[in-house]
Each structure stands twice: as structure tokens, then as C-alpha cells.
Amino acid sequence: MNITRPFGDTLALIGNTPIVRLAGPSAAAGCDIYGKCEFANPGSSVKDRAALWMIRDAENRGDLKPGGTVIEGTAGNTGIGIALVANALGYKTIIVMPDNQSKEKMDTLRALGAELVLVPPTKYSDPGHFQHVSRRMAEETPGAVWAGQFDNVANRKAHIEGTSQEIWEQLEGRIDGFTCAAGTGGTIAGVGMGLKEKDPEIRIALTDPHGAALYNYYAKGVLEAEGSSVAEGIGQGRITANLEGAPIDTQYRISDEEGLVWVERLLREEGLCLGLSSGINVAGAVALGKELVAEGRPNPRVATILCDTGFRYLSTLYNPEWLAAKGLPSFDWLQQGAAA
Ligand code: PMP
């Protein structure tokens, strides 16, 4: 029996997440597809790792002192991670978030005791963008540090030192490809760098949603976005410091509809309730698996990230009215529930 002994403190619960073979995606790709269960972190997302690394980094630099405040601009999950870590270490948290993110994330942040500042979504060049608002607040608040996840490379370090090492060990060094989408880019860059150091033959693929500019950047060198996506936490329009030097070998563009197919199938067939970025990642992993099979790699193994829990999106992805308003297909059983 594989028993985990008690951890010494709650922060030790971050990372060391399980990895699971996904039956449906593996059958679709014709090879083994593995999902790294980041929803198993205490804040139910991959961003707990970046939160812990950035806060430890600010402490080590001497910028964050006892009783201090951590301020961040975030689509939500990083804020949840920061609030948990800050609570455990005795810091205050202020989170600036676009007001179009899920209600569950806002309620969770408030429940964790974070001060929540909602701003209208706007483009990065606008001084009212959530990242700029949060940076200015940190400059003006005594004893505060700005986490700055997009350009703070302590974020990707969490994945170089943590996630990639775990994936390598869990798959016993037998891995041919890795893919995921980018928000800050910390996960794809950090896991990519960590795995390439183990074996440069591991293919690293970016899976980009519509409305993001990175697919075209890696395909033809221009930051150019097409279409749009309702996926929260992913979709980047610039090369963040975390993305600089990311070892991306190839790229896929995945629509919300394709991602939703996997969100539904993973829930119905395998009992995993996930957010849309996870569905988009799994669609990318299936594409990468098929490509490696077509090239004749024997029994390739591909890993991706299951970024956060679907319970964070009950009012959106799992709500037929919300899906209809966005022009997206609903799951059969949700529609039956709505009719009853
Ligand atoms: N999925 C979700 C749900 C997220 O919140 C994030 C973080 N913004 C990501 C994926 C992308 O992770 P990263 O910031 O490391 O690129």
C-alpha cells in the first residue's frame, strides 16, 4: 500500500500532486496520455505552486516582512493560492481581478479573507488593466509587495524545481511529449525547461486557445490573435518574462468547443470535474500524442496539466443558460436538469 505519512505543515501540501492515465484521451490518441492533477493542490489549482514560490522569493529578497501584504493582479486562481499561503504565513492579501471572472472565484477569495478589488476587463496597454492597477497599489501601500506573476520568474521556477521533476519521476523517465496552455507561461516554460534538461528529445508543445497571440508567435514569429475564448486563466498576448527562452518545439490552436468535448467526456466517462483550460490542454495532448504516433515513436507517452477544479465554474461551464448565452453547446444531462 502506498501511504503518505503526515506532513509537518499545511504549505507542504502544495505540489507533489498525483498523475493519472486518462483512458478516453489515450484511446483517442492511440498512446498513453497522462494528466497531472493540479486540482489536488489545497487551493484546487496549479497556481498554488507559483504563489508559494513567489512569496518565498519575496521573503528571501527581504522585501516581504512579518505582517506585510501581498498584492497581485490575477484571473483568480493565483489570488486563491496567494491568500492561502499568506494566511498560513501571517500576511495580508489584496487581489485585483477583472470583473468577468467566475463568481465562485470571487466568493472563494472573499471567504479566504482577501481584500478583493474588481476592475473592468480591458487591454494590457490600458493603465486600468488589472495588472497595472495591482502594481500601482503595491507601490502605494506601505509594507506591500507585488507578486507580479507574469514577469516574476519565481513563478516558472516552481515548475522547473517542482512540477517537471515530479512528472519525470512519476513517469520513471519514460515521457515523449508535454503540452499545456499559457496564462503567465510559467507552467509551459518551467515544465518545458525542466524536462528538456532531463531529455532534449521530449517534445514540448504549446496549446493555445483562440483569442491568444502565442500560436502565431511560435508558428510564424508574429504576436497575432484570432477569435476568442471563454476559458479563464489562459490566453496570452505578449512574451512575458516567464515565456522568455521557453523551449517550445511545436504548437496547436484549440477551440473552446474542442476543449468542452474533453471537459464533458472526462466528467462523464472518468469522473473528473475540471475547468476549461484542462479540457483545452487534454485536446492538445491528444493532438501531440497522434503526431508522435504518426511519426513512428514506439508507444509514446504524453503528459499535460489538469489545471483546476470544475467546481470553480458551476455558474458558468456547468450552467446551460450561461453556455447558451456564450453560443456554446451544453451537456445533455445539464439540459435534462434544466427541463425538469
Ligand atoms: N489554467 C487556469 C485555470 C489558470 O488559472 C492558469 C493560470 N493563469 C493557467 C491555466 C495557466 O498557467 P500559467 O499561468 O502557469 O501559464
Q: Is the pLDDT of residue 14 over 80?
A: yes
Atom of ligand 1 nearest to the CA of 232: 3
- The set of catalytic residues is 47
174-201: average pLDDT: 98
Q: Is the pLDDT of residue 337 over 70?
A: no
Residues 51 and 38 in one domain: no
Using a pLDDT cut of 70, give the percent of the chain over it. 99
Q: Please report whether residue 152 resides in a domain.
A: no
Give the number of other CB atoms < 10 A from CB of residue 127.
8
H/E stretch holding 295 reads: none
Residues 309 and 186 in one domain: yes
Residues 237 and 307 in one domain: yes
Residues 129 and 181 in one domain: no
Residue 253 CA from chain centroid, whole number: 16
Cα 294 to ligand 1 centre (Å)? 30
Residues 169 and 279 in one domain: yes
Cα 296 to ligand 1 centre (Å)? 32
Residues 192 and 304 in one domain: yes
Q: Is 240 in the pocket of ligand 1 (CB under 6 A)?
A: no
Cα 84 to ligand 1 centre (Å)? 17
Q: Per 3-state DSSP, what percentage of the chain is helix, strand, and coil (rounded to 5)?
A: 45, 15, 40
Task: Report the pLDDT value the prediction gives residue 177, as an integer from 0 to 100.
Answer: 98
Q: Is 275 in the pocket of ligand 1 (CB under 6 A)?
A: yes
Q: Is the pLDDT of residue 339 over 60?
A: no
d(CA 296, CA 152): 39
3-class DSSP assignment, residue 176 = coil
294-310: average pLDDT: 97
H/E stretch holding 232 reads: none
Residue span of the structural domain in which 21 resides: 10-44+157-323
**To the nearest whole number, what is the mean pLDDT of the chain?**
96
Q: Please report whether residue 2 resides in a domain.
A: no
Residues 215 and 286 in one domain: yes
Q: Is 278 in the pocket of ligand 1 (CB under 6 A)?
A: no
Nearest CA owner, ligand 1 atom 12: 183
Q: What are the backbone dihedrals phi and psi of residue 117, each rounded to the nearest 5 degrees, phi first?
A: -115, 115
Q: Please report whether residue 335 resides in a domain.
A: no
Nearest CA owner, ligand 1 atom 2: 233
The CATH number of residue 130's host domain is 3.40.50.1100
Q: How many structural domains compose the chain?
A: 2
Residues 78 and 182 in one domain: no
Residue 136 CA from chain centroid, whole number: 25
Q: Is the pLDDT of residue 334 over 90?
A: no
Q: Which three cell numbers stand for residue 133?
A: 492597477
Please list, in sequence order, all residues whose beta carbon lies within 8 angstroms of the beta carbon of residue 61, skipping any fewer than 6 positions away. Answer: none
pTM: 0.96
Residues 309 and 240 in one domain: yes
Residues 80 and 93 in one domain: yes
Residues 185 and 100 in one domain: no
Residues 318 and 183 in one domain: yes
Q: Please report whether residue 211 resides in a domain.
A: yes
At 255-300, the pLDDT tens digits run 999 999 999 999 999 999 999 999 999 999 999 999 999 999 999 9
